[in-house]
Amino acid sequence: MALEIVLLTGMSGSGKSVALHALEDTGYYCVDNLPPELLSSFVALEHKHHGNRVAIAMDVRSATGLPQLPQQLAQLRSQGVTVQSLFLDATTDTLVRRFSETRRRHPLTKDDLLAGRRALVQTIELERELLAGLREQAHVIDTSAIRASQLQSYIKSLVATPSGQLTLVFQSFAFKRGIPMDADYVFDVRMLPNPHYEPSLRDLTGQDPPVAEFLRQQPDVLRMQQHIAQFLDQWLDLLAQNHRSYVTVAVGCTGGQHRSVYLVERLCETFGQRWTTLRRHRELDGR
């Protein structure tokens, strides 16, 4: 059986430890903060002793060895190893808040050089620059507005999808809580009729039949659904030919409860007939 590797990278404070625990629960042999220089020899050793599924976390603590990582990954793929790269990210404000709440030091912080919020922001931006190359080659997960339990579920669903083919991730969200950083495409549906203003529908979600029936009867909702589907149909084949593993399509409304949820459900039904699809409802998952 071919060796499967999940390479987990990302910003400090973005939830890599939570993600690594999820991978361990899924049956991966996990190691944290492996120096990139040891990747090839480590993979050979683990394949021999621990089976076919390995998860490796790397971050800015190994900054000096990161430039050589793309070449190493290409070499592993040429040897028949399946490599899945995941990058965890979050907004700078979120990362600053998490470091403040936990009173942890950022790994790039110097003892007597950096202190305070302004310096922490500068350090985080430096980390973004150092990891930009890895981010570009990975599937990005924005952890800014999700709980640890949601992140664990996301990770488990991603590694359960078939490798070597394009996976579509449809995500609903609320604009009032920010646009997901991991979105490849963002569609704004706030102009559509809003079930929130129907007293009998206000406390329901786009997954509930009464809301679905209300939105199904709205011509503009159907037109929006068709336009999004037509756009994706135009480009998905080219994305797949470009060896993309994941494409994240985010659909946002005001509260992330009705319209965006309904459209994500319908789009998953449509595209699930041809592509591997995952659905996420950022404001509903983990309720």
CA 152 and chain centroid, separation: 11
Please count the other Cβ atoms lying within 10 Å of the Cβ belonging to residue 161: 17
Q: Where are the beta strands (DSSP E) in the chain?
A: 4-10, 29-32, 53-57, 82-89, 139-142, 167-174, 185-188, 246-253, 276-281
CA 194/CA 181 separation, integer angstroms: 25
Q: Under a CB-based contact definition with an 8 Å cutoff, are residues 221 and 284 in contact? A: no
Q: Which of 251, 258, 281, 264 is nearest to 175 (CA)?
A: 251
In this structure, what token pair is assigned to residue 201? 């529908």
Q: Which residues are annotated as a binding site for ATP?
A: 10-17
Q: Which of 254, 277, 248 is nearest to 265 (CA)?
A: 277
- Which element (helix H / strand E) includes 266? helix 259-271
Q: Which residues are annotated as a binding site for GTP?
A: 59-62
Strand 53-57 to 4-10 pairing: parallel
Q: Which residues are annotated as a binding site?
A: 10-17, 59-62
* Sheet with 167-174, side-by-side order of all strands: 185-188, 246-253, 167-174, 276-281
